[in-house]
Amino acid sequence: MTLVKKIWTTPVVTEPQGVIIEDAQIEIIARQIDERARKLFGRSLHIREVDAGSCNGCEIEIVALNNPYYDLERFGLHFVASPRHADCLLVTGPVTRNMADPLRRTYEATPGPKLVVAVGDCARDCGVFAGGYGVFGPVSAVVPVDVVVAGCPPTPPMILSGILAALEKREQRQVEITQQ
Amino acid sequence: MILATLLLIPALAAGSIALLRNRRLMETVHALAALATLGTGLTAAIRVWRGKTEIIALDHLLRADALSALMVTLVTLLGAIAAIYGLGYIRAEFDAEHTKQARMFFSLSQVFIFTMLLAVTTDNLGVMWVAIEATTLATVFLVNLHNTQNSLEAAYKYLILSSVGIALAFIGTVLMYYAGSAGSGEIAVNWTSLHAAASRLNPQVVRLAFVFILVGYGTKAGLAPMHTWLPDAHSEAPAPISALMSGVLLNVGLYALVRFKAVVDITLGSGYSSRLLMGIGLLSLAVASAFLLTQRNYKRMLAYSSVEHMGIICLGLGFGGYWGVFGALLHVINHALSKSLLFMLSGNILLKYRTTDIRRVRGLLRASPLTGGAFLAGTLALMGLPPFGPFISEFIIFRAGIESNAWVAVIGIALLVVVFAGMLASVNQMLYGEPPDKLERGDVLKWSMTPLAVNFVLLVALGLTLPSALTNALKQAIAVLGG
Amino acid sequence: MTINEALMLNLLAGMLSSFGAGAIGALLCARWPRAARVVGHTFALLGALLALGLGLAGLAGGTVSVSIAQVLPIGGVALGVDRLSAFFILVIAVAAVPSAIYALGYTREYEGRYSLAGMGAALNLFLASMSLVVMARNALTFLALWEAMSLASYFLVMTERDDRETERAGWLYFVMTHAGFACLLVGFLLLSHATGSMEFAGWQAGAAAVTGTTRNLVFILLAVGFGSKAGVIPLHIWLPQAHPAAPSHVSALMSGVMIKLGIYGLVRVGFDWLSGGPAWWGGALLLVAAISAVLGVLYALVEHDLKRLLAYHSVENIGIILFGVGGGMLFQTYHLPALAGLALIAGLYHTLNHAVFKSLLFMGAGAVLHATHTRNMEEMGGLIKRMPQTAVFFLIGSVAIAALPPFNGFISEWLTFQSLLLSFQIPDKAVNLTFALSVAALALTSGLAAACFIKAFGISFLALPRSEHAESAREVGFSMRAAMALLAVACLVLGVAPFTVLKFLSKTTSELLGATPDMQFTWNRIVTGGSFATVSPLWIAVALAALLASIPITLRVFRANTARRYYETWGCGRAVQTARFEYTATSFANPFKRVFSVLYRPVKELAIEFHPESRFFVRTISYSNEARSIFDDAIYGPLNRMLRSFAQRVRLLQSGNVNVYLLYILVALVVLLVIAR
Amino acid sequence: MTASILIEAIQLLIVALAAPLLVGSVRKLKARLQGRRGASVFQPYRDLRKLLVKEAVISENTSWIFRFTPYLVASVMLLSSLVVPMLTTRTPLGFTGNIIVLMYLLLLATFFLALAGLDAGSAFGGMGSSREMIIAALAEPTVMIAIFAIALRVGSTSLDEIVRRGADDSLLLLNPGHLLAFVAFFIVALAETGRLPVDNPATHLELTMIHEAMILEYSGRHLALIEWAAGMKLFLFLTLLSNLFFPWGVARTLEPLPVAIAFAALALKVGALAAAVAILETSIAKLRLFRVPELLSGSFTLALLAVISFFFVR
Amino acid sequence: MFVEIFPKLVNLLASLAVGTAFLLIARRDLRGQVRLFAAQSFFVSILAGVIAVFARSAELFAVALGLALLKVFIIPAILNRAVSRIGLQRAVAPYLGAPAALFVSGVLVALAFYVMAPITASNPLPTADAVPVAFAGVLIGAFITVIRRRALTQILGFLMLENGIFLLALLATYGVPFIVEIGVFLDVLVAVLIMEVFIYRIKENFDSIEVGEMGRLKG
């Protein structure tokens, strides 16, 4: 009963556009994704997250995307369990030796057309872990990366903007592919 | 005259074999005598059945009616088969250095046949007793033919138990005689006169007498709890003798019992003897089933199976009525045929594997297909499966049982299932699997087994049909018994 | 259409002489295994074809009656064919024809290892005695043929006789069947005593006069006797042992046909010989049906021996058939013959269907066994790529036995459901509830059966091979595939065109019950209970096919991406994909084991061997999770132990001491004397 | 004839087209109840469209079963949609089969889906199949007993008949057995369509999956078909629930007006049920797998009580 | 006078015969046992002679003589020969000690009277009163075979049983027909001869004549 009451009394917490500057940015970015995604994926983008050796800082930010505050789903973005279902790989962390092969396999397992977004400094250039004996290299050393989102960790809005960038870039490639 | 001839042949043969030195000559005499006995016996039996009459000889000392004819047929037929099989078997068991044993075997076999024939063809109950006691004496050395510790033990037990048991039967005979003579003055101790005077006998005495008869001849017939000598003796005797002992000798014991039962039933009505027979039959069945369930020695298994079948026959007799007795007599025939077949085959198995332990006999079907196949067929017959004779006779017996004493019949059938389970496990163990490595493949005594075909054919024939000649013969036998 | 008796007689004679020729021919060819194989099975095929003719002719209304007084002397051999007999002859033949074809190829492997002559002879004898036993018209004929059937099948079970397990299976089978026979014997004798006749016709005529305890006793005895042959729980224990041990075409015959003769007997008892009884008869049958169906399928679920799994499914299907038979008996008790007819039709139809798909499945399992030399599902896998045709046949069988449309199992199970649902017409609340629970049991059964065949097919045929045996498997020979194809087609035909059989069946039940069943049907539709329920099997099949075809077309129209790329199975990116990553049969069954743990009482064992230098490295882990049979533990185990310990105790009687023996005689004498006095 | 074809076409289209909408609505409502905006109610259409343009990645270990299954599953749902009385009590293809046939058709779909789960040789797929089947098997008795309860009330198991006779019975809701049967059937519907508390359709964790685990290997058009079929299954079950238990507004004839009313009524009823599902899913957590049998046995008891009440409270 | 004395004489002789059986239960040495058997046979043959005189039956008298010859002389001689050949035997206690065995024998005698009462009652012969005594002899003979461990003693028990039966037949019916009697004698003689052979064989194989040694055939 208390649950019902809570549901009833709690308003929608997802921030409407334009209240805070930051939130406004998100909204704008989101709209941009919206436009791009409509063209490519018909306002539907399924994301598979791959932790290739992250310290889990990025994961915490990514998880935040799912909460009512950011509410990723309203944009037609959705995290899925299997790369088979995914359109986009969200890769975090420096790629460790052990994860290089699994990452490649995950990429292969994803049906095309597909995007890869490297999230965080580590994913970009291995960050502080660069040169570590267990580190294989940045994500781009393993799979073709469409966009890199810098930051340690990047904020949820930055991650969203990264996905947007990926869509833009992929659009070009897509064009190229179709031209062949 | 023919009866005297019948008795004379084995007697003479026994005597002449005892005098012979030449092994081959002994064998010839033995075989020829057996065949001659068979011929004479069959002729006599057919004469009895055909003419619906009885043969009387030697001043009423010998008398053959339809029941005797049945027994004579069985004794001579199985005697002949066992004799012919025995030629090969004894040759395999006793080489030239053991001619003494061979002579003893041939000679005592003939004596054995003689005593059994005498028992079933005499009208004098005293002589019958003497003859049956003599069967023990004739076979005791045969049981101990190998003179091993085991066979000695078996033979001694057989001797003592049978003697004590049969002595009790003599008390019964005396009491019956007394009941007869007390009721009507002087009568002979002949069955015919006793039968004629039956209605005037003193019932109290007859009641007691029948108990003695039952315990006494029951010992001979291998009924529990007097059966204890049977598994020992039957399993230690040479195969042809086991075959005759299990196949025929037990029936001779029953024959004596049945003769008295016919008289007792007239005096007391059939209820008294029926109850006793059913009780002892069930007990035999129960005891045998327990022993068959966990048996480890195939010859003993066959011996206990004899106890079981004697129990079934007793049940049939106890159920009474035309069909009960009919089934019992038919079962006597079927059991004789199948059991003698199996005991002779067990000789083959023993020669092949040199052990009587069921667990050490593996892969019989592969090692000796003919023996194995026949053994399988015989066991199936014994377990009461179609298309073999015992199926029919057991069916008849239990049909009679359901109609008269349903619960006894039901218990009997249930016990038969236990027997079935036990025997099947043993047979499975023996027939299937991989034979021991060192064992040569192939059958032993292949040619000696030929006469066993007779058993087999008869068993199948009796399972599929009842020739009217046989039905008539049985009908006459039942009439003799007053059924 | 009238079938004259001469034709029937000729068919009968032809059938018997074919089987006879097969048996004798095979034995005569004992020295040449190949000839024995061909001769035995060709004649068996011929005989089975003639039996098929006989069955069809009988269903079309042909009758025959033969009696030979000379054979089986007490009452003679009496044979006759009515529609019920004819239907069961048909069932026998439907399984026998493909079995004979299949055996031609399947038994090639046996050459030189086992006696093909004995096998050919036993097979022919088996088929002959089964066909004859349903024609028997008096007690002795029936019993003799019944035992002959058991005997022949025992030999067939013992074919692969080097195996200790086979020996044990054969023993258990024969003992159980003989115990059943003993019940039948007593029941038959009681009934003949009560009616004064050994003829079945006499029983039918005199049954009304048999009342009270005798009537109930006869029913119980015959039900137990026939039930043990049918393999109902708790008399089923022989079945999962014997069926796997036998060669596969024999398993097919035993599971598909022989156990149905138990059903035949029950139908005869309930509807012909005793013609009706108190409500508890039907109720008891329903109870047994429910237990057999549910427990049968549950035991099948945890079984990883493919053939044993199928054997447990036979127990289950016998339960389903008994729902029909038991329901029919209850309807008869409450004077609803039309519904009784419906229920009986459902049961009989399922009998036929089960004969078809269970034979198919056993043959499929046989093909797998032939190709992989293992019955253990945990060593199979990936066979669909290596044996594509067998896989299709097995799949069809699986779908059929899971009672899914458009195959035959569905129709009969649907009919069974209808007959059970229509039970609300019975004006007795306790009975109504019984039926309600039966409905639930049947529903649970069908769900579990589907689960079980997903396991059976999925684990055996799909994914990667789990052993080298499976890796190197090859498709089986033509005759085996042809036999399976025949049966697969039969599954479909009986599933989409049930009217072909229902036509005959409704006549059969009318003949038996004297009332037309509560069912209308046309080539395309079955309607039961007025407008209570309808089904249109043909339309379902056609519509499904049409829709299946239309979807790819529609996708093309919408210009869907039709590209296809093959890549390894998703395994969270791990390095190699091997069969060891696959879900096993054990793990598939595990949730069921946990949910029904009361019943299975699983014994779990976990043995971990650690690396000698560190406890954190494991060398081997072996996990086993065995289900124990309640019946072995609660009934047969104690019974066996009791009998054996009793026997051991009795054995002490034969102590070897002659003094003791003498004492027995003395005691016997004294006791008897005192009694006699 | 034309009317019949028209009606069937309408039914087919309703199911085929409205199914994603239904799924989207439930999701939207759930999002709102959770305090989120959530995706548009049309999001499922977008997902499907996107999936259709993607390529299909198929495991090398699979056989034709894997590829065949999506088509079969979708076909079965479409066939069912022709049979279920949606708008009228004179469903032209109603003769195809009664409610039991319907249940078996759905079981056929589940059967192949579970096989497909095993086909790739992935542990997840096998796990999903195994779990899906135990739930399907345990749900089966409840379904049949609920059907029995209905059959007892209306004396028929034919779908059209049930609806027609139910509509004639004005005191329907006062019948305790009826309501019990409804609740039982509702729980089963949740289990069969993979909703909470039996299965979480939105889970990302393989080990908690049931239905999702089976289809983990699917991609592209195959996935689209399966998702679509799942939507249709939900729609069919909600339609069944609404029309069998609350047969209000269903047209007795094939006239346009009653059919239109029926359409509106259907939308309302299904909408209400969808809302109920959403509310339920928001307010309860998923059950542990081995607690599910308890739930299902509870629903079975309810169904049985329904039957008993029909016998004793008549 | 003889008619009056006759029943008493019969009773006395029969009781003496059974009395020797009692003594056998108590006796342990083999030679003594054989002697007891001879004594019993002697009483029985005397009794047979007395009855033969009373019944004026020449046949019966011949039987009595035969009996005396066979059982008083020949068989004891054979048995004595056996005793000498097997040599000295270690004394082994029977299964039942003498007091208990005597008690059981007493019970058996009572039982014999109980069981045979109808025969005594219905029998017009003057010897009938002794029939139960004879039957008691049978039972005690059988009992001896049950409790004694040595083969020779068992044989003696059997022979006493045989004597009891003869006595019974004698008392109840003045004996069975001659031919039967001859047959029985022949049987007994052969049986004893065979048993003698067996005693040697047992001694040879088992190194003693204890039947308890022979217990290998079980089950």
For the segment D145-165, what is each residue's pLDDT rounded down to a tens digit? Answer: 988 888 888 888 888 888 888
Mutation choice for D interface testing from C411, C413, C421 by most D CBs within 10 A: C421
Domain that includes residue B102, residue range: 1-123
Residues C317 and C203 in one domain: no
- Do B238 and B294 share a structural domain? no
The mean per-residue pLDDT over the stretch E142-166 comes to 90
- The Cα C477–Cα C547 span in angstroms is 35
What range does the domain containing C648 cover? 630-676
Based on the domain organization, do B73 and B176 belong to the same domain? no
Flag whether pLDDT at E179 surpasses 70: yes
- Tokens 């022993």 sit at which residue? B291
By Cβ distance, the residue of A82, A103, A112 closest to C570 is A82
Residue B60: the pLDDT is 82
Reported as a single tens digit per residue, the pLDDT across B426-445 is 998 898 888 888 888 888 88
Whether E219 is in a domain gets the answer no
Question: Does the beta-carbon distance from C158 to B165 stay under 8 Å?
Answer: no
Verify that C394 and C498 share a domain, yes or no.
Answer: yes
B11-20, C155-164, C431-440: least confidently modelled range: C155-164
pLDDT greater than 60 at residue E142: yes
What one-letter code names the amino acid at C456? Answer: A
Residue C616 scores a pLDDT above 90: no
Question: Across all residues in chain C, what is the average pLDDT?
Answer: 89
Could you say which of B210, B234, B268 is where a domain stops? B268
Give the separation between CA B426 and CA A146, rounded to whole angstroms.
Answer: 79
Residue that is last in its domain, among B104, B123, B142: B123
Whose tokens are 């002659």? That residue is C658
What domain count does chain A have?
A: 1
User: Which secondary structure element, helix H or strand E, spans residue A154, and what is its range?
Assistant: none
Same domain, C239 and C314: no
Q: Report the pLDDT value the prediction gives residue D22, as an integer from 0 to 100.
A: 93
- The predicted pLDDT at position B483 comes to 61
Q: Tell whether C9 and C62 lie within a shared domain.
A: yes
Q: Say yes or no for a CB contact (<8 Å) between E215 and C670.
A: no
Task: Count structural domains, chain C.
Answer: 3
Examine the pLDDT at A170 and tell me if it is beyond 70: no
What ranges in A10-155 are assigned the alpha helix state H? 21-41, 57-66, 97-109, 121-125
Q: How much is the pLDDT for A14?
A: 67
For residue A113, what is the domain's CATH number?
3.40.50.12280
pLDDT level of residue B184 (50, 70, 90 thresholds): low
How does residue B185 score in pLDDT terms, banded at 50, 70 and 90? low
B157 or A38: which leads in pLDDT: B157
How far is it, in rounded angstroms, from Cα E59 to Cα E175? Answer: 10
Residue of E119, E154, E168 to mutate, interface with B, max B Cβ within 10 Å: E119
The answer as to whether E175 is a domain residue is yes
**C116-133 helix and C83-106 helix, angle to the nearest 10 degrees:** 170
Tell me the mean pLDDT in the region D279-298: 85
According to the model, what pLDDT value does residue A178 have? 33
Please indicate whether residue D201 or residue E24 has the higher confidence score (pLDDT).
E24
Q: Maximum distance among all alpha carbons in chain D?
A: 60
Angle in degrees, 0-180, between the axes of helices C164-195 and B389-404, rounded to the nearest 10: 40
Q: What is the pLDDT of residue D39?
A: 84
Lowest mean pLDDT among A41-45, C43-47, C264-268, D14-18: A41-45
Instruction: Tell if the CB–CB gap between E142 and C662 is shorter than 8 Å.
Output: yes
Asked if residue E218 is part of any domain, the answer here is no
CA separation for the pair C129, C229 (Å, rounded)? 15
Range name among C180-194, D171-185, D261-275 with the lowest pLDDT average? D171-185
**Contact status of B156 with chain E (Cβ, < 8 Å):** yes
- Per-residue CA distances from E118 to B13, B174, C669, E122, E128 (Å): 48, 15, 17, 6, 11
Q: pLDDT band for B186, please (50, 70, 90 cuts).
A: low
Q: Please check whether residues C242 and C315 belong to one and the same domain.
A: no
Burial class from Cβ neighbours inside 10 Å (0-12, 13-18, 19+) for residue B469 reads: exposed
Quote the Cα angle for A168-A174-A177, to 5°: 155
With respect to residue B278, please indicate whether it lies within any of the assigned structural domains. no
Indicate if C261 and C379 belong to the same structural domain.
Answer: no
Q: Please write the tens of the pLDDT for every residue from C373-394.
A: 888 888 888 899 999 999 999 9
Q: Confidence class of residue E24 from pLDDT cuts 50, 70 and 90?
A: confident
| pLDDT for the residue B214 | 95
CA B187/CA E177 separation, integer angstroms: 10
Residue C365 lies in a domain: yes
DSSP conformation letters of B33-80? HHHHHHHHHHHHHHHHHHHT--EEETTTTEEE-HHHHHHHHHHHHHHH
Q: What is the pLDDT of residue B220?
A: 93
Q: Is residue C599 in some structural domain?
A: no
Q: Which residue of C has its CA nearest to B408?
A: C186
Nearest beta carbon to residue B211 from set C115, C143, C673: C673
Q: Does residue C355 surpass a pLDDT of 90? A: yes
For residues B377 and B479, membership in a common domain is answered with yes
**Which residue in C has a C-alpha nearest to residue D290's C-alpha?**
C595
Instruction: Reply yes or no on whether the pLDDT at D303 is more than 50.
Output: yes
Q: What is the dihedral of CA C451, C453, C458, C459, to 10 degrees?
A: 100
Kindly identify which residue of chain E lies nearest to residue B128, measuring between CA atoms.
Answer: E180
Identify the contact set of chain C against chain A, taking CB-CB distances under 8 A.
Answer: 565, 567-568, 570, 572-575
> Is C607 part of any domain?
no
Same domain, B240 and B213: yes
CB contact under 8 A, B153 and E190: no
- pTM over cut 0.90: yes
* Residue B214 Cα, gap to closest chain E Cα (Å): 16
Same domain, B337 and B462: yes
Question: Residue C443 is nearest to which of D56, D120, D140, comparing CB atoms?
Answer: D140
- Residue C573 has its nearest CB partner, among A106, A111, A112, at A106
Give ∠ CA C618-C622-C627 in degrees, rounded to 5: 155
**Is residue B316 a contact partner of residue B328, using CB atoms and an 8 Å limit?**
yes
Asked whether residue E186 is assigned to any structural domain, the reply reads yes
Looking at the structure, do residues B333 and B369 belong to the same domain, yes or no? yes
Do C647 and B290 form a contact (C-beta atoms < 8 A)?
A: yes
The model's confidence at residue D239, banded by pLDDT at 50, 70 and 90, is: very high
Residue B146 sits in the same domain as residue B100: no
Of the candidate ranges A79-88, C563-572, D177-186, the one whose mean pLDDT is the lowest: C563-572
Could you tell me the residue range of the domain that residue E111 belongs to?
A: 2-212
**pLDDT above 70: residue C407:** yes
Residue A177: pLDDT above 50?
no
pLDDT tens per residue across span C566-584: 888 888 777 677 777 888 8
| Statement: residue A176 has pLDDT above 60 | no
pLDDT tops 60 at residue C527: yes
What number is the average pLDDT over the span B150-159?
A: 92
Q: What is the ipTM of this complex?
A: 0.89
Contact across the interface for C577 and D121, Cβ inside 8 Å: yes
pLDDT at C331: 92
Higher pLDDT, C465 or E175: C465
- Closest chain C C-alpha to D32 CA, distance in angstroms: 33
Burial class, C31, CB count within 10 angstroms (exposed 0-12 / middle 13-18 / buried 19+)? exposed
Contacts of E211 in chain C (CB under 8 A): 657-659
Residue type, E66: G
Q: How confident is the model at residue B32 (pLDDT cuts 50, 70, 90)?
A: very high
- The β-bridge relationship of strands C533-535 and C526-528 is antiparallel
Cis peptide before E94 (omega within 30 of 0): no
**Closest approach of C642 to chain E, Cα-based (Å):** 18
pLDDT exceeds cutoff 70 at B115: yes
- The answer to whether D78 and C425 are in contact (CB under 8 A) is no
The C-alpha of B19 sits at a distance from chain C's nearest C-alpha, in angstroms, of 36
Segment C333-338 shows an average pLDDT of 90
Nearest to B15 by CA among B95, B110, B90: B110
CB contact under 8 A, B402 and C190: yes
**Region E68-72 average pLDDT:** 91
Given this model, what pLDDT does residue A174 score?
37
